[in-house]
Amino acid sequence: MKIRLASPVLMPDSIVDGEGIRTVLWTQGCLHKCPGCHNPQTHSFDDGFLVDIDEVKEQIDELEGQDGITFSGGDPFYQVDECIEIAKYIKSKKMNIWCYTGFTYEVLLSMSKNNPKIIEFLKLIDVKGLGPKMALPMLATGSINGICDAINRENVLYLKKFPKIGDKVAKQIILDLKGKVSTSEEYVSSSESDDLVEALEALGYKMNDIRRVIPMVDKNNDVETQIKDCLRLLLK
């Protein structure tokens, strides 16, 4: 399988294409023609370089000191099958993925009805999902079971009742977390500590941070209270 790139060589050490030090993969081909685009040379679908995906993987293997890889362009969603293949390999290397696109989230969801691969690619991208600053007010005004149930049932209206969550954010939360969160009744075979860790991981926290705060909360409290206490500690 080959992918059409604006540059046959991945560009490492970028500090302007996402958080941290990143490598950029520039795809070729875009129809958006956004005003002020700083990469007009990537618009044509006939230009650029056809690069074997195995060659891209070899370049990824050689990367050092990078926090993640950013898909840019062009627009990566015009080559979604090829990008999925590369994204899966990036994930196997424990690196995070950012992606720049001219499509709105709603348009991508609509396009996915004819091409389910779009959803597959979206799930591989490390988007800014729920986040702790939004999670805490949600947990303060709603129950964990109710939130988890709404996510797994794709209940957008329920999620929109929380502060700063509109239709777009609610749909993104569902996309990011559906199938990854469970109600407390589904944890009957797990210890409360396991419940706490899984809940915090689902909210996007790293294991090192989770292990740091768990010993600081009162284990006599129920799991929901412990989660709220952990979130307060993590936000300090």
Choose the final residue of a domain: 70, 89, 124: 124
Give the residues across from 49 on adjacent strands: 5
pTM of whole model > 0.75? no
| Mean pLDDT, rounded, of the chain | 83
Estimate the crossing angle of helix 223-234 against helix 144-152, to 10 degrees.
90
- Quick: pLDDT tens for 14-39: 988 877 899 999 999 999 888 778 88
CATH code (residue 45): 3.20.20.70
Whether residues 161 and 212 share a domain: the answer is yes
Q: C-alpha 155: how far from its chain's center?
A: 20
pLDDT of 140 above 60? yes
Q: How many domains does the chain have?
A: 2
pLDDT of residue 49: 96
Whether residues 80 and 25 share a domain: the answer is yes
Q: Which has more confidence, 137 or 21? A: 21
Q: Is the distance from CB of 111 to CB of 103 less than 8 angstroms?
A: yes
User: For residue 102, which phi and psi values (nearest 5 degrees)?
Assistant: -90, -5
Q: Which domain holds residue 81?
A: 2-124
Choose the final residue of a domain: 124, 141, 159: 124
Choose the final residue of a domain: 124, 150, 183: 124
Structure tokens at 162: 């929380």
